[in-house]
């Protein structure tokens, strides 16, 4: 049985324009195209579309989605993986909802709100989400080795490293304001600090370090965080990391 692009659009709440775009970039090719130019989709394509939409809901960019859906994984195995992600996301929102509800109760009751619990569920949930995606993207061995490096680090250490990260971002924004190109020596020196910071967790080579820069732009969650600092930052950092990888790795 085949469904037209209009029927698939209605079933999935995805516009025909988006489906055509997925076809153009090779993410979702229809089963066949009729003589009239209409696209038709069969069961295999609908299952693939479901996977794409699941990962879009999880916040993955199209490039990352393409890598996952094209990895040749068994469909049932892949759906189990997506199900685990969705359950983790559900649990994350439950924790966040509980945190917000507790804050509302304290504010409405006039209690003296200490504030220490206001951020419960944020770091833990985000970490779990990224850990699972990292295992799927780069392999469990790399992720487990990175975890081993930092498993005994104190909260103070994490605060210090967070401050270093923010300092690097501020330096890069200053270089952007100064009109420096991504391959300028002063920019590469700033990126060197980022590379050495990353090496505390894992040691990327030339290809993987440039790939990390691409992830900063392509993954909507990373991109949103960079945009909060400066909308120019994600692309600039990607280009600077590529230049650094080519020049110094």
Specify the fold of 151-249: Globin-like (1.10.490)
Q: What is the pLDDT of residues 219-242, one digit of tens each?
A: 776 787 787 778 888 899 999 999
Percent of the chain exceeding pLDDT 70 equals: 74
Strand partners, 33: 39
Most confident segment among 69-78, 151-160, 239-248? 239-248
Q: What is the CA radius of gyration of the chain?
A: 22
pTM of the complete model: 0.47
- Which pairs from 127-135 meet CB under 8 Å and 24+ separation? 128/88, 128/92, 129/85, 129/88, 129/89, 129/92, 132/84, 132/85, 132/88, 133/60, 133/85
Neighbouring C-beta atoms of residue 133, cutoff 10 Å? 20
Q: Which CATH number fits domain 3-59: 3.40.50.10860, 1.10.3720.10, 1.10.1660.10, 3.90.480.20?
A: 1.10.1660.10
No. of helices (H) and no. of strands (E), the chain:
12, 3
Q: Measure the CA–CA gap between 96 and 187, rounded to whole angstroms.
A: 38
Query: 5, 31 in Cβ contact below 8 A?
Result: no
Q: Could you read off the pLDDT of 137-182 as tens digits, one per residue?
A: 556 666 666 667 666 777 677 777 777 888 888 899 899 999 999 9
Could you give the 3-state DSSP secondary structure of residue 237?
A: helix
For residue 64, what are the contacts with CB-CB under 8 A and spacing of at least 6?
Answer: 55, 137, 215, 218, 219
Average pLDDT of the chain is 79
Tokens of 220: 């909507």
Q: Mean pLDDT check: name the lowest of 10-19, 50-59, 109-118.
A: 109-118
Return the beta strands (E) in the chain as ranges: 3-4, 32-33, 39-41
């Amino acid at each position: 049985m085949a469904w037209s692009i209009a029927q698939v659009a209605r079933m999935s709440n995805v516009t025909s324009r988006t489906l055509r775009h997925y076809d153009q970039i090779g993410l979702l090719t229809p089963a066949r195209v009729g003589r009239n130019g209409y696209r038709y989709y069969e069961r295999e394509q609908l299952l693939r579309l479901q996977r794409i939409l699941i990962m879009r809901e999880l916040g993955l960019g199209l490039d990352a989605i393409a890598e996952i859906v094209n990895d040749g994984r068994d469909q049932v195995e892949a759906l189990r993986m997506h199900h685990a992600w969705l359950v983790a996301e559900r649990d994350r929102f439950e924790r966040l909802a509980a945190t917000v509800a507790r804050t509302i109760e304290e504010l409405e009751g006039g209690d003296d709100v200490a504030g220490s619990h206001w951020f419960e569920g944020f770091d833990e949930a985000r970490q779990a989400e990224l850990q699972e995606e990292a295992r799927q993207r780069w392999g469990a061995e790399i992720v487990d080795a990175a975890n081993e490096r930092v498993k005994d680090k104190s909260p103070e250490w994490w605060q210090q490293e967070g401050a270093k990260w923010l300092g690097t971002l501020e330096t890069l924004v200053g270089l952007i304001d100064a009109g420096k190109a991504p391959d300028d020596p002063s920019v590469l020196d700033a990126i060197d600090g980022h590379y050495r910071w990353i090496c505390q967790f894992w040691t990327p080579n030339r290809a993987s370090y440039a790939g990390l820069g691409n992830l900063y732009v392509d993954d909507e969650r990373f991109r949103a965080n960079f945009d909060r600092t400066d909308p120019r930052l994600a692309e600039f950092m990607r280009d600077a990391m590529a230049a650094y990888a080519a020049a110094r790795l």
